[in-house]
Amino acid sequence: MLIFEEMQSRGHEQLTVLHHASSGLRAVVAVHSTVLGPAIAGCRLRPYDEERALRDALAMSESITLKAALAGLNYGGGACILTLPENGAEEGHLREALFRSLGRQVRGLGDRVVLTEDAGVTGQDIAFVAQETHSVLGMNTDTPTVTAYGVYRGLKAAARTVLGSESLRGVRVAVLGVGSLGAALCGHLHREGARLTIADSRPGRAQTLAEELNERVTVVPAGELLDAPCDVLSPCGFGHSIKQADVERLQCRMIAGGEHHPLSRRGEQAVKEAGIAYVPDYAINAAGLIAVATGISAEAAAERVYQTVSQVCALAQQNGKPIHSVARRLAERRIELIGSLARPL
């Protein structure tokens, strides 16, 4: 990957690599935009090779820029990708050292970056970071649960336009990835009477969830879920779940889920050509970010997602444009307009 070329093409401002041998810290911090305010950087911890860590940091930070803009927040977009240390960082003191080391090094970035939790990172981890820097948010927010409820409400808003009804009873939803966010989303969908097909890279996790939900749930291998006939495909994994070459396999009418950047820009074009509606991640999975940034309740944050998705879908329908194109343009337009204002004295 040509890093500067990739940064220029996406409009990134900064990419920083952090390392501290004793604590096992190896992290990439990407700042996509600070036009609207400090870059909120979701902190993600999982096994990564170096190139995937860089790619995910760049893609995720761009997504959060668009998400914050579309949600009306005065924040920009960032990402902090930590590669899992060889020691696993599970024992208490090791984990404390890892995240305090992160906080100490991020302090050097000043007020440009604000860290919050993402996959593999907990509120307690962010509390460790907060011992070294004030640039944190979300220590007391159950972000995956809030995000899942927002995705559920956003799905209902999109279904009214794409499927003809807001009701999800009897609607076939295929969920790829049933970690904390995906499992919570399945719970909401199941209670409304949706018919679920689920898969996870850890097959036992999907089977356990199916047993808990008890009915109207089919478990398939993760590699087969994209072939499942469904009305809605809901990716809830770690990103890039749907490759451009996979689009011809899809048997859905709509893609909408909790995952950051499930599609590349070329993938977005491919689903458009296939006649599949795509509700982008930065429109539908914003409830957790909204709650973290504003302190409002999960219900209020999810309602804001519902209103945003409703507006985007209505404009797309009125103008004959793809949903994802309208969402991106609305977000970019706000950044352009606010960015054009004179700096306050």
Range list of H helices, 131-264:
143-162, 180-192, 203-213
Which residues, including other chains, have CB under 8 Å from residue 92's CB and lie 6 or more apart? none
With the CA atoms of 288, 290, 294 and 295 taken in that order, what torsion angle do they form, in degrees rounded to the nearest 10? -30
Tell me which residue of 34, 36, 16, 35 sits closest to 26, measured CA to CA.
16
Determine the pLDDT at residue 8: 82
To 5 degrees, how large is the angle CA 187–CA 328–CA 109? 85
Residue 184 pLDDT > 90, yes or no? yes
Query: For residue range 29-62, what is the model confidence (pLDDT) as tens digits?
Result: 999 999 999 999 989 988 888 888 888 899 899 9
User: pTM for the full model?
Assistant: 0.90
Query: Could you tell me which residues come within 8 angstroms of residue 240 by beta carbon, excluding any fewer than 6 positions away?
Result: 55, 56, 59, 261, 262, 264
Q: How far apart are CA 42 and CA 18, in angstroms?
A: 16
Q: Whole-angstrom Cα distance, residue 73 to residue 181? A: 22
- The crossing angle, in degrees rounded to 10, of helices 180-192 and 203-213 is 30
Stretch 176-184: mean pLDDT = 94
Return d(Cα 291, Cα 238) in angstroms, integer. 21
Q: Tell me what the mean pLDDT of segment 223-230 comes to.
A: 95
